[in-house]
């Protein structure tokens, strides 16, 4: 069977709502689409993008019209989602930078140098109290600007492990520095809590 014939059979199964069509589509294209998406976006976004595209196809299977090959359609859909993700990250980064500039002015005007020194000491102590693996991943990401992928390679662990360690470090810091809110978190850039 040629690729065109396979596409026609696959589309027929999908349009009829046959789960086997979706299973076949998923098994055949999930990994290649993830590899493709990884060329454009961060590891953390790849699976979500690919799963969103595949889920959209399944949810809209009865109205699905594909004028190209299934493969070309999927790659184009993933590409467009990647571009959307990049735009969202860029917009968030710009907003984050504006926010930090505004907050920097507020913090500078409201905290004198003695309080700043005390705050920095408490932040450093809180970071020092983190479990070693959490601290290492957190410092590499927040202060050395390494990506999750780079940290994973340097520590010889998976990016998901890096994500877990950083999230746990953030939770522990949040708990440890709660008396210094919001200045401690703003100072070290923990805006995800």
Mean residue pLDDT across the chain: 82
Tell me, what's the pLDDT at 171?
87
| Whether this model's pTM surpasses 0.85 | no
Q: How far is CA 94 from the centre of its chain?
A: 17
45 pLDDT tier (thresholds 50, 70, 90) = confident
| 17 phi and psi angles, rounded to 5 deg | 80, 15
User: What's the rounded mean pLDDT across residues 119-141?
Assistant: 88
């Amino acid at each position: 069977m040629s690729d065109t014939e396979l596409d026609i059979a696959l589309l027929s199964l999908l349009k009829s709502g046959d789960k086997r069509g979706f299973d076949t589509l998923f098994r055949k294209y999930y990994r290649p689409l993830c590899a493709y998406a990884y060329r454009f976006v961060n590891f953390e976004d790849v699976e979500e993008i690919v799963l969103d595209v595949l889920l959209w196809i399944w949810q809209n299977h009865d109205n699905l019209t594909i004028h190209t090959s299934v493969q070309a359609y999927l790659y184009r859909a993933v590409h467009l989602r990647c571009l959307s993700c990049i735009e969202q990250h860029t917009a968030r980064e710009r907003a984050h930078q504006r926010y930090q500039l505004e907050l920097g002015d507020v913090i500078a005007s409201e905290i004198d140098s003695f309080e700043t020194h005390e705050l920095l000491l408490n932040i450093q102590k809180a970071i020092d109290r983190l479990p070693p693996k959490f601290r290492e991943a957190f410092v590499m990401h927040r202060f050395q600007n390494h990506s999750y992928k780079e940290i994973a390679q340097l520590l010889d662990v998976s990016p998901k492990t890096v994500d877990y360690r950083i999230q746990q470090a953030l939770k522990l810091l949040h708990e440890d520095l709660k008396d210094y809110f919001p200045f401690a978190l703003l100072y070290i850039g923990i805006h995800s809590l």
